[in-house]
Copies of this chain bind each other. A is one copy, B any other.
Amino acid sequence: MMSDGVTELIEASGIAPQNGERRRGIDRVIMLLEALLRHRAPMRVGDIARMIGAPRSTTYEIVNSLLEAEMLENVGTEGYVYFGRAMHLFGWAYSHHNAHYRRILETLDRMAAETGETVQLCGLRGNKYVVLDCRDSPGPFRISSDVGVEVSIPWTASGRLLVGHMSEEEIKNFIPAGDYKLPDGRVIAPEEFFADVALARRQGFSETAALADRFTWCMAAPIHDGHGAINKTLCFVLPVDTPEVRRGELLSLLRERARGLSLVGG
């Protein structure tokens, strides 16, 4: 028996498990790490092999190399591996190397402390939306999405800002057609989405209520990079029944802080 519900993911991943194809170790490594990220839990070598469409023997070899480098580590009694300490160091180095990003993270901390709400930093990864970092509200149960998980752009408030620089035509080519379908089955008409994008661009912020799920009110404000483009967004994830007055206050704060983080063009 396969130890997991992994088979669906193999097919979903779209990686053609073409037979007889030989691939480079580097590419295997990249595929492996991304598979691990999507799965979000330790995996066994056999399952990894299936997931990335690599021979078992090759996968063992690669995993052992990465284990030795501490990019992966064993977890649990046997067989399971997950990201290792080295990854943490690399990631930490990434997020602290540039002053702008550090400033953003500090703002994130401050906003979370001041408001007690869930705050996120969002961006694009390919043609998907991802949460780059977040500070969750202190309650025991929270409404949030995991850092690094790819989500369809039309499901999010931030997504409406992040494609703001594109024409309708460009957006149409950029976002996969299936991404307009919400998790609950509803479908967003592309025209409606384009209108949202235009509105977000005019307003300088974007809000969605009970869109990707029934419980959240999301508001996002753009962080402009040096060239005036929108690279990242700052975002509150609120309970949908948050009073309007408070929403207004939070929106003001959000826009102010996002403006403060934007770089004015060279």
Contacts and interface: CB of A to CB of B under 8 A. Distances in A.
Contacts of A112: 5
Contacts of A4: 106, 109
B85 A87 contact: no
B37 A90 contact: yes
B90 A83 contact: yes
A132 interface: yes
Interface stretch (A70-78, A191-199, A248-256): A70-78
Main secondary structure of the interface of A (DSSP, over half): mixed
B26 A62 contact: yes
A87 B133 CA distance: 13
A69 B30 contact: yes
**Interface size for chain A: under 10, 10 to 19, 20 to 34, or 35 or more residues?**
35 or more
Given A42-B102, A93-B36, A132 B88 contact: yes
Contacts of A46: none
Interface of A: 3-5, 24-27, 29-30, 33-34, 36-37, 40-42, 62, 65-66, 69-71, 75-77, 80, 82-99, 101-102, 105-106, 109-110, 112-113, 123, 125, 130, 132-133, 136, 138-149, 151-152, 155-156, 183, 212-216, 237, 239, 241
B102 A94 contact: no
Contacts of A141: 143-145, 212-213, 215-216, 237
A3 B106 contact: yes
Nearest to A129: B140
B91 A92 contact: yes
Contact of A101 (B37, B76, B145): B76
